[in-house]
Amino acid sequence: MAIKWSALKVSEAMDEAEGFIKESETPLGLAKLVVTEARKIPNLPQYMDVRLISLISQIERMDKIKSVLQSIRDDIPQADLEEQRKQAEYGTQQSIL
């Protein structure tokens, strides 16, 4: 039974989202380094260190975002996706019925 939604459009959207995520990896990695260094500031109060640790933890959630994106990709029916890709190669044609 064919799906009624476009597996191809979902796949393309995940490709686009993944591109933006990849673009953000380097800046977020640099931000993590800066925050990690900030934790080494002499006489840093514990409440500030806890907040910095929290920020590092939030930055590290990028791995969770990537795993959710992969989970979405895994749930796309591959047979339908391939069929829709083939149809897209040949273009769309209106039904005469």
pLDDT band at 91 (very low <50, low <70, confident <90, very high): confident
Domains of the chain, by residue range, sit at 30-74
pLDDT in tens, 48-90: 999 999 999 999 998 899 899 999 999 999 999 999 999 888 7
Which pLDDT does position 93 carry in this prediction? 61
Cα gap 69→38, rounded to integer Å: 31
State the chain's maximal CA–CA distance in angstroms. 77
Pairwise CA distance, residues 12 & 84, whole Å: 12
